[in-house]
């Protein structure tokens, strides 16, 4: 008499489990990449909106929003950072001039983040003392941010031939700088 056995062997079950594991890994990696690219798209949009607000502020005041006192930023006293309380000072200036309805923050926005140290924040420097790029106070600014899944973009509008902002603030980061 022949005994009939039905079911799967251990080898067949292991092959199926490994295949499911590989497919799950590919799905998770793809999903994380899509999220990072989505955050990068939002960063580009946010920075474009900050640039527009800065230019509207300039058109009304003939100066970019310079800090009147120490900003208290984790980056440096002359910077505004979306990761600390200095961002509220920039927000107050831009909202008060009606240049923007709400000043955006980075989608991740790490607390006390410094972009050059891997922090996910927006950082804005306004030349408040006339020290950089040969410009006078309030005539130059830079926005620094970090893209996750895209190539970093550096753009300067205007000439910064003398005393540029140190590269330690911009290495491997995206930035937009304008000098009048």
Distances (CA, A) of 178 to 2, 59, 103, 155, 166: 86, 14, 19, 8, 15
With contact defined as beta carbons under 8 Å apart, do 123 and 159 qualify? no
Enter the tokens of residue 95: 């909202």
pLDDT of res. 10: 87
pLDDT at residue 171 in the model:
86
Query: Where do we find the tokens 């607000």?
Result: 53
pLDDT averaged over 10-residue windows placed end to end, the chain, 180 residues? 75 89 83 86 96 95 86 84 91 91 93 82 88 87 92 90 84 89
Query: What per-residue confidence (pLDDT) applies to 1?
Result: 62
């Amino acid at each position: 008499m022949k005994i009939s056995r039905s079911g799967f062997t251990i080898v067949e079950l292991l092959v199926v489990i490994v295949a499911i594991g590989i497919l799950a890994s590919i799905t998770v990696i793809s999903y994380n990449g899509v999220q990072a690219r989505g955050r990068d798209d939002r960063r580009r949009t946010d920075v474009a909106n900050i640039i527009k607000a800065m230019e509207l502020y300039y058109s009304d005041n003939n100066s970019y929003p310079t800090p009147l006192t120490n900003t208290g930023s984790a980056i440096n006293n002359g910077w505004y950072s979306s990761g600390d309380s200095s961002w509220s000072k920039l927000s107050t200036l831009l909202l008060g001039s009606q240049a923007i309805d709400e000043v955006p923050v980075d989608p991740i926005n790490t607390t006390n983040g410094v972009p050059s140290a891997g922090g996910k924040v927006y950082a804005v420097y306004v030349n408040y003392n006339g020290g950089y790029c040969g410009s006078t106070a309030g005539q130059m600014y830079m926005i620094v941010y970090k893209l996750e899944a895209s190539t970093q973009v550096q753009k300067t509008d205007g000439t910064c031939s003398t005393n540029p902002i140190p590269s330690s603030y911009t290495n491997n980061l995206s930035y937009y700088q304008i000098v009048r």
